[in-house]
Structure 1
């Protein structure tokens, strides 16, 4: 679970970096879109892992873990 949290944190950090460089005028819209697509893909991969982890936890505990 720590690994998933770490990767989500890194994704948020990447989004903040994109916003920072846009504010400074050191990146243009195309740069931002490319970076956003990369972050989106990584978050999508993480979501698959999180869903699998929830399923495993449910199987082990017989308790439903609510998705937000």
Structure 2
């Protein structure tokens, strides 16, 4: 996933005013944030899919009840 964090990581990589240890630390943090964003994105998509399924089931149930 292309994100602003990837741009931030590229900017950190190009900095000449920080030490290698600081650069590595900042890059680890951006990697960790990217992973957290991926997990949250997956959870959001899964929740939206589950919501859609529940809505469809409820609509079908309502239609069945109205027919009865």
Q: Classify the TM-score, shorter chain.
A: 0.5 to 0.7
Give 1 or 2: higher helix fraction. Answer: 2
Match of residue 19, structure 1, among 13, 18, 40: 13
Match of residue 24, structure 2, among 33, 50, 62: 33
Question: Alpha carbon RMSD of aligned pairs, Å?
Answer: 2.0
Greater radius of gyration (CA): 2
Aligned pairs (5 A) from 1:1-68: 8-9=3-4, 11-21=5-15, 25-62=16-53
TM normalised by structure 2 equals 0.59
User: Secondary structure, in 3 states, of the residue corresponding to 1:38?
Assistant: helix
d(CA) in 2 for partners of 1:16 and 1:45? 19
* Deviation of 1:27 (Å): 2.4
Runs in 1 of length 4+ with deviation above 6 angstroms? none
- Structure 1 gaps, min length 5: 63-68
TM normalised by structure 1 equals 0.59
